[in-house]
Structure 1
Amino acid sequence: MKQNLENIRRRIADAATACGRDPQTVRLVAVTKTVSVDRVAEAIDAGIDIVGENYIQEARDKFDALYDRPLTWHFIGHLQSNKAKYAVRMFDLIHSVDSLKLARALDKAAQNNAKIQKILIQVNISQEESKSGTTENEAMDLVTDISRLEHVRIKGLMTMPPFFDQPERARPFFHQLARLQSRIADRNIPGVRMDELSMGMTGDFEVAIQEGATLVRIGTALFGARR
């Protein structure tokens, strides 16, 4: 585990340095879907400090078991509005907000918990029917609408490109999200920050970093293939 983590961090640093970025501007989100509590604890001991979970129930079990560990919790899966209250209780950042309905549910839950919930807007850049996310054309209006809510704060964007065996083929999708980030930032919408780009996984995170990723979501390279 420690060797895997050191290798990933080295690759992150090399990718960032190669394109003139400070490696400290890229953070690793350890994707812990289907990973046991013991394995997550081992990863924490090795040095991970951000975990990314895809499912509320699985996350609740791990959250309860690891509540005393120094972790930041990110939700990276598809989130249903009726699970918003659970997400708000556990997660510091929710990557996958793709509708005003979900944002309103999170806003209400955050108000009930006396919290300001940080979120990212998920954009389906590839327009794949199998993937969640707002469209690129609708993203600006969605960001504007969500910005009026009092208890959520938009911190950036997230996307998942199509799966490719060749990482370079994912580059146009990462580039497109970065361009959208710039366009939204240029609008100076009150309360909206475009600090984060969540993009890139085990197979393509170095290309994502070259295109501006600040959060890379890595599971397989850290924990091995899922069983």
Structure 2
Amino acid sequence: MPQAHAIIGPTGVGKSAVAVALAREFTAPIVVADRIQCYLDLPITSARDDVGAGEGLQALTRLHLSQRSVADGDYPPEQAMRDLRMRLDELAEQHPFIVIEGGSISLLRLLAGCGEELGYRLTAHTVHIVDRRQYRSRLRDRAYQMLRADAPATGMLGELAAAWRHTEQRAFVASINGFEAVLEWCDDRGVDPLTLSTRSFTHAELDEIADLIAHWHVEHGYEQEQVFSRLFTDVPTAAGS
């Protein structure tokens, strides 16, 4: 029976690097179980392309669940789960081993509840937060890189400004991890989010925003850690066994 091995864990903990290494070892495709990474107009905010894979990434098959834009609105977990299962079913017909990479709480809850409904053997490995101080520092550095201090309009701030133009989707946009923090900063400073792509930022302001994004990401990461410690408790952890 084919095996689907899930690499799960909090935001920014290093899941992608683990998934890529495993995919190389077993010559396996990767399915990214992340709803926000399906939005083609949010590559920076979602870290869609930030896989940290190094040399040889082009030789790997790395598949997302769908292709969406902010104008499409929220991607419901139930729909994402149907798309995930369809991806896995198709791949299981061709590959003996599949890597699932993800940190979406809602989506992974649904996957963990599938049990024996799946036509392949599900195993899982959780990448944990080892050192909380280092984790916070890493997320802060990651947030600053997302802001692209040399050209903020091309980073997360530019993506938020463009997304905010979809007025009918603002509730969805405001719920996206990372955007929540920037919108909080905008509210405190009286800044219109629509101006984020054209506004000049001081280094002090970018530092403030990066700190706030890191804080939100860390809090979300701790929540993920707690939830994932309870998921897949009855699922084997060994890959390729």
Larger Rg: 2
Higher relative strand content: 1
Higher relative helix content: 2
Q: What is the TM-score normalised by the length of structure 1?
A: 0.29
